[in-house]
Copies of this chain bind each other. A is one copy, B any other.
Amino acid sequence: MSFTRFDKYVDRHARAFTERLQAMCRMPSVAARGTGMRAMAETVAQMMQRAGAGTRSFTMGSGYPVVYGECGAGSRYLVYGHYDVAPVGHLTDWSYGPFASTVVDGKLYARGASNSKGDLVARLAAIEAYQKSFGKLPVCLCFVIEGEDGLGSPSLRRFVDEHSEMLTAEGCIWDEGYKDPTERPVISLGFKGITFIELHVHGARTDLHSKWGAIVPNPAWRLVQALSTITSPKGVITIDGFSSHLAPISPEDAEALKTVELDEAGLKREFKIGHWLRGLKGHALAKEHIFGATCNICGIQTGHTGAGPKTVLPSSAMARLDFRLVPDLTSEVVLGLLREHLDVRGFQDVEIVELASSPYAKSPIASGVARAAIETAEEIYQVPPVVYPMDPSSGPVGAVCGAGLEPTPVVSFGTSYAASNPHGPDENIRLDDFLQSVKYFGRIIHHLGQQSRHRSGSHPAQSLALAKR
């Protein structure tokens, strides 16, 4: 099928699509502030309806609505997005008002333009263009748009728990991705999981005068000694049995890994660090970044660290850790191994408290959504995409796509570019990238439809989830 009509439609409506995005970016929907969130959720539902979707909003407790919308019929594919944006930080750091939606030199400056209202508007625009150019969608796209990306997605997680049947799908399209500094689009085939925990050790009732240090157990020392057994001085995780749970990297993933190159010098400059962990570099560095499980100290709090010469023997000590999970690690496995590891070494006094967790999500490169995204990218971007077998970040993606016995394959890409600065000041996207995204998504829809036709005919189980209720 030729995309000439489709592309012409997109080009003719470029201004309208851009204005739609600008209007959306003028609505400040900072979840952390809670302003304008319900208005934004309603606007999202209306935009979906205008694209022909049936919608339903799910409000979990006092959270912000999860807006669900279905468009088309046939094989079901989830499309994730979020309508909340990050806090703007210091206004004086911005060149343009963060909610003014200013276009300068082909770039739209706005909080949320990159992360990720641009993706949502582009994907809905692609549906409109597809329907106007070719008629009905060849598949059923199920949009799941949450408003709590900045808050750890509590409503979405509850939605997933309570409405898992609505999330049954052939695949899922996520919204993280960008063009790297060499202008190659980055596509990810999964995300690491995460387990976020605290370790607690308790000592005397209150902080004591440190003259008691010779005879009163110090919980800070206990914590340090316990922590020191779970990684080596070189930074290798040394929890008993941990490494045996790490799945080998498949030949396909190893192949995809070859396309990934970190901008080592640029990142070192940005971070102001002299070397990488264990002196890693090149291919080994990229492999560790993408497939390495982590055990990271996020913070430690104990005793007195404020001003003044106060020498105390702390009454308690706490460390916050996050583990990034790669196949086949689960939160249960990590916590079980850690508990046993500490117990065996006499650290029964070190309490483990789980704060939050998300499973990893990992798709085979041969999955339908991965193929659709990878095989159509070059047509739009003129260069082969960089394929991350796994994105080192984590999020609710594991809850949506990775939880069940049969995980849903997920692929992720986006409208941003290397200088989009999605969490900082002057967040922006290039309007050319935005329109490319519309065209790219149209081709992905088509590719998914072709896959569907190649599979066995009808999909009776895939009737509208909305119609069922």
Contact = CB atoms under 8 A, between A and B. Distances in A.
A304 B196 CA distance: 13
A235 B317 CA distance: 16
Interface in A240-289: 270-273, 275-277, 280, 285, 288-289
Given A216-B271, A228-B227, A271-B216, A211 B297 contact: no
B217 A296 contact: no
Nearest to A318: B305
A217 B275 contact: yes
A314 B296 CA distance: 9
A203 interface: yes
Interface residues of A, number: 71
A221 interface: yes
A320 B305 contact: yes
Nearest to A295: B213
Contact of A301 (B224, B231, B300): B300
A143 B29 CA distance: 69
Interface in A203-225: 203-205, 208-218, 220-221, 224-225
B271 A205 contact: yes
A392 interface: yes
A322 interface: yes
Nearest to A272: B205
B212 A392 contact: yes
A299 interface: yes
A51 to B, nearest CB: 33
B221 A224 contact: no
A393 interface: yes
Interface in A68-106: none
Nearest to A355: B309
Contact of A297 (B218, B231, B276): B218
A451 interface: no
A324 interface: yes
A394 interface: yes
A298 interface: yes
A203 B273 contact: yes
